[in-house]
Amino acid sequence: MRYKNMLSFMILSALLALPAAAQQGVKPAPPQLTAIKAGKLVDPETGLTAANQIILVENKTIKEIGASVKIPAGAKIVDLSKSTVLPGLFDAHTHLCMSVQPKRDANNYYITTLFDTTAYRAIEGVANGQAMLASGFTTVRDIGNAGNYADTDLRMAIENGVVQGPTVVNSGIIIAPYGGQFHLQPEKKELATPEYLFADTRDEMRKAIRQNIHFGAKFIKIVVDDQQYIYSADDIRFIIAEAHASGLKVAAHCWTHAGARNAAEAGVDSIEHGYRMTDEELQLAKQNNVTLVGTEFTEKMTQASGNLWEHKTWVDRLRRAYKLGVNMAFGTDVDVELPGETRGTLAIDYLSSWAEAGVPAADTLRAMTTNAAKLLGVEKERGSLKPGMAADIIATPENPLDNIQTLRKVSFVMKDGAIIKQ
């Protein structure tokens, strides 16, 4: 028996050693170098623009930036001397793995969840992710409604190079009081799963958070107030403490005044929607360092959603939040298919709501880059163009600080050093 075990061990050791032995004497591949000639280079954090800059990209990261950077021999040159170059955009509230079909689903995503399997939704996630990337969104926070962890599979497939897509920070399955965002019938209680993890007691909340972490969530999303019973501020504090203990932030879906107040009082990392937040609730959010991801629906999206909400209410809340100095990150909540549109074109159209609310271009751009990067916890890697940062780079015909609408015409996209669109 000992002999057999030793023989097995020797064979296994030899097999494990084969790849290393086979590579002996083989030189590593030279770094891939790309030199981008930028006519204008925008720093969203400072709101400053530099002219005639060269960005040297080595493999997946930025190596050097400056007017006097020397371009190495053999580097691939990308001439964007007539364009404005800036960091890739962020959408901090997406649902890549769900596409509501208005005619089939009657604008009710409960019906969508009954029709579409998790496997199908993962495929939708690939298509929607690629569409977002083509529109300049290089990082997104996928915030639930992905079936049985299709969002985790999508994130892993992108990270492993199986498919192209934006960097994904995913929330796993949404945690909510019983019923989630659905109204169920007693004979078919199971139809709310796997869209939601119901958690009404502290033990259920802790277990739901740990399940999400176990299955690959990088953020926790809760629904605070879509039922008559809602999470209290103490409930939310407990969830925050449990999530933060494992290094995950918490996003809180809030529609009502009571829900928004409880979330702001508890100090969640972000409030999602906050549709009718009062100035008092917005001030409380500001005081407790809560970021608002307002998902300010455009006229087009309001109509596509069956006119459940008023566009002017979204714009008014955004205007008030900006004037009060609430920290904000750009998010869209797009989840529908519309003829002639992609997930990316629908998302970038939310610029119209920000412009209508009177938010200056520089602050809108910060919400779409540096503010969102900090909320998602990736600010050391993405959201700005500096040596050592990921080479997530886009270009536009004009300077978005002068005309924010130029972001609708992204002409160049680089993701982790790979040219996606040119």
Q: What is the pLDDT of residue 3?
A: 39
Domain for residue 152, yes or no? Answer: yes
Domain for residue 37, yes or no? Answer: yes
| Alpha carbons 408 and 386: distance in angstroms, whole number | 24
Statement to judge: residues 82 and 227 lie in one domain = no
Domain that holds residue 242: 89-376
- Give the residue ranges of DSSP H helices in 305-396: 311-324, 343-348, 351-356, 361-368, 370-376
Q: What is the pLDDT of residue 12?
A: 43
Statement to judge: residues 392 and 270 lie in one domain = no
Can you name the residues that pair with 36 across neighbouring β-strands?
55, 78
Indicate which CATH number applies to the domain containing 362. Answer: 3.20.20.140
Mean pLDDT by 10 residues, the chain (422 residues): 45 45 59 96 98 98 97 97 98 96 84 92 98 98 97 98 98 97 89 93 98 98 97 98 98 97 98 97 98 97 85 97 98 95 98 98 98 98 98 98 98 98 94
Q: What is the pLDDT of residue 17?
A: 46
Statement to judge: residues 82 and 113 lie in one domain = no
Cα distances (Å, whole numbers) of residue 371 to 290, 365, 374, 391: 12, 9, 5, 18
Statement to judge: residues 182 and 320 lie in one domain = yes
pTM reported for the whole predicted model? 0.92
**Beta strand pairing call for 61-66 and 48-58:** antiparallel
The DSSP-derived string for 263-284 is HHHHT-SEEEE-TT--HHHHHH
Domain for residue 28, yes or no? Answer: no
- Give the residue ranges of DSSP H helices in 23-134: 102-105, 109-115, 118-134
Q: What is the pLDDT of residue 7?
A: 45
Q: Please list, residue by residue across 341-366, b when 16 or more beta carbons sit within 10 angstroms of its beta carbon and e when fewer do.
A: bbbbbbbbbbbbbbebbebebbbbbb
Indicate which CATH number applies to the domain containing 410. Answer: 2.30.40.10
Angle 64-70-71 (CA atoms, 0-180°, nearest 5)?
90
Q: What is the pLDDT of residue 9?
A: 43
